[in-house]
Amino acid sequence: MAKFTDLDKLLQQFAGSTVPGCGCVVAQNGEILYEGYYGLADIETGKPVTADTVYRLYSMTKVITCTAALILFERGKFSLNEPYHKYYPEFENTQVAETLPNGGIKIRPAKNPILIRDAFNMAVGLPYADGNSYTEHELRRVLNELDSKGKFTLQDQVRAFSTVPIRYDPGSHWSYGYGHELIAALIEAVSGMTMGEFLKKEIFEPLEMENTGYRFFGDIQDRLIKMYKPDGEGRFVEIPGRDDENFLPDARYEAGGIGLFSTARDYTKFTQMLASGGVYEGRQIIGRKTIDLMRRNMLNDAQMKDFSDSYNEGYGYGLGVRTMVEPAGVANLSVGEFGWTGAAGTWASIDPSEGVSVVYMHQTMPNNEQYHHHRVRAVAYGCIK
């Protein structure tokens, strides 16, 4: 059986070698079992990583967004099988950019509407605009137009996305992308609040997450860890944090898929709530059965082929989270363990059957996620009695 001293040794091995610095918290049934911080948050000044270090969550924002939306689902504000255009009519006549056998593109009406569950499941056909498909080219065009007009809001963005022909008929495939921007816009539509307002009221304040948000406040900016990339010769070069401008007080954009900052301790409060049936210090934040719904694999065979890779081996995908469906030969985890990852190296794992959560954070691009996260996962869960 592993010991938490093994986790100390692993993080010490990472720090200054594969990442400048990192932190990790392991908790069970509301109690912190392990907390460790190693290396530097700022190489130039020698500032160490500590419990107060603030990290960019990037896509770990998604788990918070989907939890927030499911709080509204529990209140009867929407149903998962409703068409998204019920709340944003701009999506009523969604078009598909179908690739023909000769490589040409045919723009045609979608065979079925985008459902709210498709947005949760990343099955809307709006991938991140990093590739060369027709849809991705159009997404880049739309995003550039928004940028050219100055500061824009989440709803400005989502309405602009409605003009882009999607890559496939809704629900037929899985592609990582802007689905959770649609979910965040849904939260705003049915709650009458901005994302920042809703998250603060329903999640951050009840969970006493005092270091988490979209906009800098207090001394958060001073505590934000620097972003680095390896130079290939054993050193790290500081780079600008992608989208850091959205942390500034005059920003307007509050996304669903990215955008939050937090500490390892703060995010542990959130993950422990989910690992404990939705309860935090006696307060019910979300229902236990809703968490079970969230972590149920909802991908069909075609979508599983789209989703599966070596990093996600053994997992399916639920309502905004990866969920373990077959750990045999892959990981020392329970079926139903769930969580997600952030682009700069943040990672969270939640196991309600054991009441356990693990939060690990560093800030490099590329994040070398498989090397770091799978090792932390193996050691942390090896310590659970």
pLDDT tens sequence across 212-247: 999 999 999 999 999 999 998 889 999 999 999 999
Q: What is the mean pLDDT of residues 148-166?
A: 96
pLDDT at position 2 over 90: yes
Q: How confident is the model at residue 329 (pLDDT cuts 50, 70, 90)?
A: confident
pLDDT at 330: 85
pLDDT at 328: 79
pLDDT at 262: 99
Where exactly are the structural domains of the chain?
4-71+194-382, 80-191
Rounded-to-integer distance, Cα 118 and Cα 101, Å: 26
Q: What is the mean pLDDT of residues 252-260?
A: 98
Q: What is the mean pLDDT of residues 350-379?
A: 98
For 96-117, what is each residue's pLDDT tens digit? 999 999 989 999 999 999 999 9
pLDDT at 200: 98
Q: What is the mean pLDDT of residues 56-73?
A: 98
pLDDT at 168: 98
pLDDT at 141: 97
Report the chain's mean pLDDT, rounded to a whole number: 97
pLDDT at position 92 over 90: yes
Q: Global pTM?
A: 0.98
pLDDT at 319: 98
Q: What is the mean pLDDT of residues 180-200?
A: 98
pLDDT at position 148 over 90: yes
Q: Percent of the chain having pLDDT more than 90?
A: 98
Please tell me the CATH code under which domain 4-71+194-382 is placed.
3.40.710.10
Q: What is the mean pLDDT of residues 33-60?
A: 98
pLDDT at position 373 over 90: yes
Q: What is the mean pLDDT of residues 323-341?
A: 94
Q: What is the mean pLDDT of residues 130-159?
A: 96
